[in-house]
A and B are shown apart, each in its own frame.
Chain A
Amino acid sequence: MDITFNIGGEAGQGIDTIGDLLTQIFVQVGFYTITVKDFESRIRGGYNFTQIRVSDRPVVAPVEEVHIIVALSKDAIIGQRDRLVDGGVIIFDDSIVFNDVEACHFPAPLEKTAVDIGGDVRMANAAALGAVLSVIKFPFGLAEEALTNIFGRKGEKVVSGNIAVARTLYDMTAEKFTGSCSQDLAQVKKGPSTDRFIVTGNRALALGAIAANVKWVSSYPMSPSTSLFQDIVANAHRLKIGSLQTEDEIASILMAIGASYAGARSMVTTSGGGFSLMVEGMGLAAMAEVPIVIYNAQRPGPSTGLPTRTEQADLLFTAFSSQGEFPRIVLAPKDPEEGLEIAVRSFDLTEKYQVPVIILGDQYFADSAMNIAKPNITGTKIDRGKMIGPKNISGYERYRFTEDGVSPRAFPGSEGITVVSSGNAHLENGHITEDPNIRDTMVEKFFKKVPHILKDLKPPDIFGPKEPDVTLLTWGSTWGAVFEAVETMSSRNMSVNQLHFCDVYPLQTQTLHEVFEKSKKVISVEMNATSQFADLVRMKTGLTVHHQINKYDGRPMTAAWVIRKLKEVGVE
């Protein structure tokens, strides 16, 4: 079983509600889902969709074919028509005037039934659900149980109303829908998945950051990062997290740096445009060795670009931005589950090495949801790095030279200790200097940290055979589409593997050398026009990929697209 549903309509029509409902039902019944959101940068109107892929085995990327479309507007009826499979069905409310009705179309009285049976037009969502389930012959009993759970918190009336509306449409569709649907789930039982936690990349990062004891988050809203900040704010009062929407991203990062200097784990959230404004502050954090976690949810640029679309084109910008030279860490989660883990790790890394850590997400990662095993965060351990002990306060100097370049931290407010920091070149005691020898030692202090950081990073993963004909080189959220492409190609007896990086900078080179040695051909696959990761690999290792595959239309990658592109370079 592998079905994709597409719920389309205008912004503000409730696409998400129907989509969430469908996802929740299939998750409750034990299936794997991945939900992607495709929307325009507008509050009302336009054409947006939520697309849900449901399978009885784990799915990690969207697909191109759509089996069932629920259209809430005329645009949505025709919007994905060319992606509908043979035997696919388009369900829409019969109040939409649409004259080119084909066999695949099913106009249904969704809103009318919601009002007549449920007494509330909002139950049109349940009506749509009933029609969808009926078309695919999904046993209503399975859905009913799930719906009871989902609406349970809202009271008996809501539960019974929604179920009655869904049931009415379910029966009516069975009777009136005369077309045929390629999907027949009449025999379906509960699925194998026990993963009941539906989470987006942004939410996973937010929860991970809170588990890591983030205490200060200052941000300015910017798509597609905003939902992370909103999740923090939503929990701020209950969990005591200082959070503030600032006048701009410059203030965001500087407040966070201040809070971190004073001892609070601090984070900022933004996208590329906001990160551009934060770069000056990031340099201050680097010079003053103040820990900071920066989340950059990438979107296509330059400038405003495509605010609600996806791209991986900030990698080199992120790795090299700011004047001067200093170490930093860039982590790019492949999916929400890894996001949760990265969020905790990023705070440990920034405090252990006192260098900026940038989490590089993108709109696809940020907004897409998967169901994963419910995380248990109660045992989260954190490592705040070197701190000055109470016995060593005499003569404390914030930038004391050490073997590994990391000086023990202390926070202002401690009696007997003076914490002096500066964005200027400074002495061990934090006061400014222009002494060339001190300058040398301070720069060397920065870079003494790098070997230790490299040892602490998570090595890249290899999926598939060790000595293949072709290696696909990936990083960040494009993992899923390429992973599925590798699976498909392997099932066709092709010799392909995937080398994937989550911890992208500083670059870990050893595995790269091994893979280039063992693989006949290495091909980079990236969501950008210039193969930035492949460039980074060449810069740091001298190794050059044999082909580069690039996608920069702002839409998420699929396995089918990867396979088509590989064909173009002779890999099939």
Chain B
Amino acid sequence: MGDPETEGGRSRVITIEQLRGPQRVTWCRGCGNYGILAALKKAIIRLDVPLHNLVISSGIGCSGKLPHYIGGLNSFHTLHGRPIPVATGIHMANRDLKLIVHTGDGDCLGEGLGHFIHAARRNVDLAVFIHNNGVNGLTKGQFSPAAPRGYKSKTSPPPPGAPMDPVNPAAQAITAGASFVARGFSGDQKMLTDLMVRAIKHKGFAVVDILQPCVTWNRQLTWNFYNEHTYALEEHGHDTTDRLKALEKALENGDRYPTGVFYDVQKPVLADGLALPEDIPLKDHETDLDALQEVIDGLSL
């Protein structure tokens, strides 16, 4: 895959300078997104993938702006809730490309929840990083699909606050058929970088639910809250191949949030089931017109 001259060559070494963002970051000071961006850069440097074969697809919201804050990468800043289907199409057209989806909880779990579930079902080879802060930040703090029941905002005034349960992205991903499901925390760089590297390398639909505070709007899910209410799964001997155990852990949210890998298995990916050429990317394939003419001849009397 890729140009042989670059395999293990000089261009494989990616530096932090190359990744310097082309635009000034507009996130609030103290935002959890900084930790996610930093971890992503570290992960990309650690990956053994040429820079030109990486593509970021993002949705709308604070998370959606990430492609403008990292340099040297192909990217497509798409629509609210829609980065996953766009990424799916990009990957199908060229499987040499590694797709990284940056999406928010408002993006992925509201308008995008259907796409998320179906992409997991297809086990399409994408890494999906959910910037999960429980609020719709960019539209100024309304409750998001991941906000806890009772969460107070301008569109969910008390009583009762948000009148519904939150979406649990890790549990949704596991039940829908994702083959790699993890949870990270923007405040734990080491673990988050590891999870990102594993998710991008994973062959299949890989989800990392990334807990991050929205320092401007969310008074409930704060740095302190997460520091006090998260614990590492692997320290408690979790079996990442057991789907039911993984689901059990993913559903544990309440007083304590497990972080780390819930589930990690191999299974057929979407591309295995499609009529894609094996030797070259779909985008470079040229339909054999003689073969098509045979089809036409066969239809003719």
Contacts and interface: CB of A to CB of B under 8 A. Distances in A.
Contacts of B281: 263, 413
B292 A240 contact: no
B146 interface: no
A357 to B, nearest CB: 17
A215 B78 CA distance: 22
A185 interface: no
Contacts of A375: 296
Interface residues of B, number: 62
A429 B22 contact: yes
A112 interface: no
B254 to A, nearest CB: 31
Interface string B70-106: 0011111111001001111111111011000000000
Interface residues of A, number: 74
A258 B126 CA distance: 13
B283 A377 contact: no
B52 A378 contact: no
Interface stretch (A415-423, A472-480, A497-505): A415-423
Given A242-B282, A413-B53, A248 B114 contact: yes
Interface stretch (B38-46, B147-155, B241-249, B271-279): B271-279
Contacts of B91: 258, 262
Interface stretch (A40-48, A205-213, A453-461, A558-566): A205-213
Contact of B94 (A211, A263, A424): A263
Contact of B23 (A28, A288, A431): A431
B235 interface: no
A380 B289 contact: yes
A284 B290 CA distance: 36
B238 interface: no
B301 A149 contact: yes
Interface string B1-17: 00100100001000000
A243 interface: yes
**Chain A interface, >50% SS class:** mixed
A260 B88 CA distance: 11
B224 interface: no
Interface in A1-42: 24, 27-28
A258 B87 contact: yes
A374 B295 CA distance: 11
A413 B282 CA distance: 13
Given A236-B275, A264-B283, A281-B82, A420 B301 contact: no
A254 B290 contact: no
Contact of A241 (B22, B67, B115, B287): B287
B282 A431 contact: no
Contacts of B52: 412-418
A216 B275 CA distance: 10
Contact of B86 (A198, A258, A413): A258
A255 B292 contact: no
A251 B90 CA distance: 13
Nearest to B301: A196
A264 B93 contact: yes
Contact of B92 (A214, A216, A416): A216
B74 A251 contact: no
Interface of A: 24, 27-28, 149-150, 196-199, 203, 207, 210-211, 213-216, 218, 235-244, 246-248, 250-251, 254-264, 266, 280-281, 284, 288, 374-380, 411-424, 429-432
5 contacts: A244-B92, A254-B79, A254-B89, A411-B94, A422-B67
Given A207-B292, A211-B292, A431-B68, 6 more contacts: A197-B296, A251-B88, A254-B115, A374-B300, A420-B75, A432-B65
